[in-house]
Structures are given as C-alpha cells and as structure tokens.
A and B are shown apart, each in its own frame.
Chain A
Amino acid sequence: MKEILIISGKGGTGKTTVTASLADLAAQKYQLVMADADVDAANLEILVNPTVEKEYAFMAGNIAVIDQDSCTLCGRCAQVCHFDAVRETDDAPYYIDPAYCEGCLSCVHQCPVDAIKVHNHQSGEWYRSKSPYGPLFHANLYPGEENSGKLVTVIKESARAFGEDSCKDFLLIDGPPGIGCPVTAALNGVDIAVIVSEPTPTGFHDMRRVKAAADFFHIPTLLVINKHDLNLKMEDTMRKYAGEKNIPVIGVIPYDEHIVHAQSLYQPITQTLHARYQPIFQQLWEQIRLHIGM
C-alpha cells in the first residue's frame, strides 16, 4: 500500500480541497483508505460525508493532579516544574493546569508528602468511518489539549493497519498546517508528500519550511501551486526554487471564487465543479501515481 501525504506549511492553501478531489478520482479505479491528520481542525469530513462506524477514546498520556487535602503548600512542585504548569487559583495556592502539564511526573516524585497523583487523561476521540470514497480515519482533539502528534500517529497507524489488512492500494492523508509535532508525525513513514502551496510571500516562505521538514525525514516531495494566477511572478519564483531543489511541479490550480462557494455543497470540487476541475485533478493524480511508481 502506498502512502501519500498532502501538506503545505501554510494553512489555507487548499490541502483538504485537493485531498478530497484526489480521493474522488483515486476511488474510481483503486481501493483507498483515508486519514485526516489535521486533528485540531479536522475538515476532510466536510467534503467526504463520512458515517461513523466505530468511536475510540484518545488517552493522551498522564497528567499530574494535586490532592489538595494532603498538600502542605511547600511549593516544591512549582520549583521543579519546567513547564510553568503549577499555578495559583482562587481555590488553591498550588494547582496543576492540565493544559500545561506535560506528564513528566517530576513533581509526583519530588512531592515530600506524596500528595500528587498520576491520572490518565482523555483528550479527544477518534473514529473509523465509511465514506463514498473508502474508509476514513479521523479525530477530534478536545480544545486546548496537547499531544496532537500522538493522536496523528494513532490515526495513521490504525489507517495503515486497516489498509494493509484489507489490501488497499493507497492511504491518502490530509495533513495538518505548520511544521511541528502533528506534521512530523504525519510525515513519518509516508512514501511521498505533496506540497500544496500558493504564490504569495507567506505561501512560498512556509513551503520552504515544510520542504525542510520533509527533507529531515527523507520524504520525497511534489509541488502543486494553487491559486497560481494571483501572482504569476511569484509562481515563476516558486517554480525556479522547485527546479533547484528537484521538486517536480505536478500542476497548478487557478484562483476561483466558485471554489469558495462550492465548499458549501459538501462535496469534492471534482464533483461540484466537474467540468473545470475533473481534468485538472486527473492530471495531478496521474502525476502522483507516476512518481510513486504505480
């Protein structure tokens, strides 16, 4: 099974739009499994109409909790915490804020009266759903929670295991924005990363950073320039950069306000704006298959 990740560096360049359209085309001839690795703001479900079949609790890891009755207010926990998680609140002089606690358990060991306990913490949910294009693994990280990298890993590994077991041809992953833990978790082990960028100063800047992240993990990359006609000069600059870095430019998509409106139809644009976008995405899909050796 080949694994294709769609990333961008910058948010809003069109990853989900591209992923949904590729899924639509790929599913016509191949067996597909999908994963939405943007667990903070999972949007692929808006376009692929999934029905949840199985739901799982996501247990992030441990957090430390102070038993206020046993606490002697010595402040040792606040001294040792490297994450500024021990805060004063109206109810307690020493309270560990779960949003900041990283579960290192240093305070648990250091508390002289053993007043700090370890709790396993549910920080989200993930789902195996079915959709018209194939099974979808997606998640919902509760707001303010940490550990999105682990949740991305859980989704990917489940999607991968499911795909291998049911002999799927492709795992298509809608990636998260940025270059941090969710992106590195998404990058690990994929066969190819398709960078979707835009010809703007920020699009180009972030494309270079995400390319560096892909290089760090030795993942080959391809480039798609979305909204390419907004700035043809910048498109040219990006193509030159891609040439220098040996990133094949596999296609471009025009700036089109119809796409913005078409999102509200809750379908991939290869369906809703079929005449214009079916041929464009067909070409992108063929190029991806070519580079991945399928």
Chain B
Amino acid sequence: MQIAISLEDNGGMDAKASSIFGRCAFFMIVDSESEVFEIKANTARQASGGAGIQAAQWIIDRGVTAVITGNLGPKAFDVLSTGKIAAFKHNGGSANDALKAYQQDALESLIAPNVSAHSGSK
C-alpha cells in the first residue's frame, strides 16, 4: 500500500513528521510493505488558498491509500474521505516512527477533521 507522510524536511526516514498538512514542506510516499520511498516538495505550500485541497488532490492523483499527518482541516478532510483515503495522526517523531506505528496499527485514526480551517501549525 502507498502511504503519504507529511514532513518538515527531506531527511529520508529520519525526517521529522510535520503536524501541518496543506502547507507542509515535503511529502514522503512510501510503500508500507517494501518501505521503498520517495520524498517530494509539497507544491501546495505556495497556494494562495485551498492548500489543503491541493495537497489532498496531489495525494489522490498519486494513488496513495492512506495519509499520516497531524492537523487535518475540514476541506482537506472532505477531499480525502471522498477519495476513500484513510487518515491517521502521528505522534511527533520521524517518518520512520510514523511508518512503524502505522505497520503496528498503533496510530489514531482521523475520522473527522481535527482542527478548524487554517489551523496549520497549532
């Protein structure tokens, strides 16, 4: 399964997981079984508005089936859930920590937006 993880930097598996979704710096796309990954700069970061929507669209277009992030606002959540993408909240730590926790089913599922619009880094 392809998983997306929002990141603050592009330091590979040691990169810090970002609590921001729409305007995070990078996304890691990783295969949850083989752990093969790539990291891409988040193009939605520069958006005037709807950054969460744009990031969610980008993720859907890449065939990702689950997202691990921190804060998910209502619009981004809407797009992801309509696309049947599962969303999870990480516990801080690195991309590797987030991936391991996902593999062990130890992550909190996000079944509703957990922040109001534009709460980014709160």
The interface of chain A, by Cβ under 8 A from chain B, is 59-61, 147, 149-150, 153, 157, 160-161, 164, 188-189, 218
Question: Do A157 and B121 form a contact, CB below 8 Å, given A189-B116, A218-B116?
Answer: yes
CB-nearest residue of chain B relative to A150?
B48
Does B118 reach chain A (CB closer than 8 Å)? yes
Q: Mark B49-75, 1 if CB is under 8 A from A, else 0.
A: 100000000000000000000000000
Asked if B118 and A188 sit within 8 Å, CB to CB, the answer is: yes
**Nearest 3 CB-CB pairs, A to B?**
A188-B118, A150-B48, A189-B118
Asked if B48 and A157 sit within 8 Å, CB to CB, the answer is: no
B121 cross-chain contacts in A, Cβ below 8 A? 157, 160-161, 164
How many of chain B's residues have a CB under 8 angstroms from any CB in A? 11
* Contact of A61 (CB < 8 Å), options: B48, B116, B117, B118: B48
B16 cross-chain contacts in A, Cβ below 8 A? none
A188 cross-chain contacts in B, Cβ below 8 A? 117-118
Does B120 reach chain A (CB closer than 8 Å)? yes
Asked if B120 and A157 sit within 8 Å, CB to CB, the answer is: yes
Does B23 reach chain A (CB closer than 8 Å)? yes
* Contact of B117 (CB < 8 Å), options: A60, A147, A189: A189
27 sampled A-B residue pairs with Cβ under 8 A: A59-B46, A60-B48, A61-B48, A147-B48, A149-B48, A149-B49, A150-B48, A150-B49, A153-B118, A157-B23, A157-B120, A157-B121, A160-B120, A160-B121, A160-B122, A161-B121, A164-B121, A164-B122, A188-B117, A188-B118, A189-B116, A189-B117, A189-B118, A189-B119, A189-B120, A189-B122, A218-B116
Give Cα A72 to B121, complex, Å. 49
Expressed in whole angstroms, the minimum distance between the Cβ of B116 and any Cβ of chain A is 7
Give Cα A59 to B49, complex, Å. 13
A157 cross-chain contacts in B, Cβ below 8 A? 23, 120-121
With contacts A147-B48, A149-B49, A153-B118 known, what are 19 further pairs, Cβ within 8 A? Answer: A59-B46, A60-B48, A61-B48, A150-B48, A150-B49, A157-B121, A160-B120, A160-B122, A161-B121, A164-B121, A164-B122, A188-B117, A188-B118, A189-B116, A189-B117, A189-B118, A189-B119, A189-B120, A189-B122
Expressed in whole angstroms, the minimum distance between the Cβ of B114 and any Cβ of chain A is 14
Expressed in whole angstroms, the minimum distance between the Cβ of B51 and any Cβ of chain A is 9
A147 cross-chain contacts in B, Cβ below 8 A? 48
Which residues of B (56-112) have their CB < 8 Å from a CB of A? none
CB-nearest residue of chain A relative to B115?
A189
Give Cα A59 to B48, complex, Å. 10
Give Cα A277 to B43, complex, Å. 48
Give Cα A145 to B117, complex, Å. 26
Give Cα A275 to B85, complex, Å. 61
Give Cα A153 to B46, complex, Å. 11
Give Cα A153 to B52, complex, Å. 14
CB-nearest residue of chain B relative to A62?
B48
CB-nearest residue of chain A relative to B46?
A59
Give Cα A149 to B48, complex, Å. 8
CB-nearest residue of chain A relative to B118?
A188
Expressed in whole angstroms, the minimum distance between the Cβ of B111 and any Cβ of chain A is 21
